[in-house]
């Protein structure tokens, strides 16, 4: 079991989901196993290792800390421009630099 933290972008996405879907997502993340994530879904960015998880219509980018915390950095719609930018390691509108 992990401690899970969400940044403000992720909290905004969570706020749009039903409570049932929120609980399903947290359950999905709680069962995270880094050993089962294919190498193609592991992304080095800013000297951090991110895991790209696929859940329903979303792509979730997380970081796992040695202390057992999952930091959810982004929850993006599948096939979205931002998802492509993140996985292609191109400049990505981070939480501190969002384009509206």
pLDDT above 60 (res 96): no
Domains of the chain by range and CATH? 3-87 (3.30.2310.20)
Specify the pLDDT at position 47: 87
Record the tokens describing residue 47, joined without a space. 């000297």
Name the nearest CA neighbour of 9 among 66, 74, 71.
74
Record the tokens describing residue 11, joined without a space. 């909290």
The C-alpha angle 60, 66, 67, rounded to 5 degrees, equals 95
* Chain segment 40-74, per-residue pLDDT in tens: 899 888 888 999 999 999 999 999 988 889 999 98
* Chain segment 68-94, per-residue pLDDT in tens: 899 999 898 888 877 777 777 666 555
Specify the pLDDT at position 80: 84
* Chain segment 5-50, per-residue pLDDT in tens: 998 889 999 999 999 999 999 999 998 998 899 998 998 888 889 9
């Amino acid at each position: 079991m992990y401690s899970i933290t969400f940044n403000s972008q992720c909290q905004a996405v969570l706020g749009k989901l039903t409570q049932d879907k929120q609980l399903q997502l947290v359950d999905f993340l709680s069962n995270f196993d880094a050993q089962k994530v294919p190498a193609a879904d592991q992304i080095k960015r800013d000297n951090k290792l991110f895991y790209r998880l696929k859940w329903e219509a979303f792509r979730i980018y997380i970081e796992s800390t040695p202390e057992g915390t999952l930091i959810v950095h982004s929850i993006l719609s599948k096939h979205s421009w931002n998802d492509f930018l993140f996985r292609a390691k191109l400049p990505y509108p981070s939480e501190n630099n969002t384009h509206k």
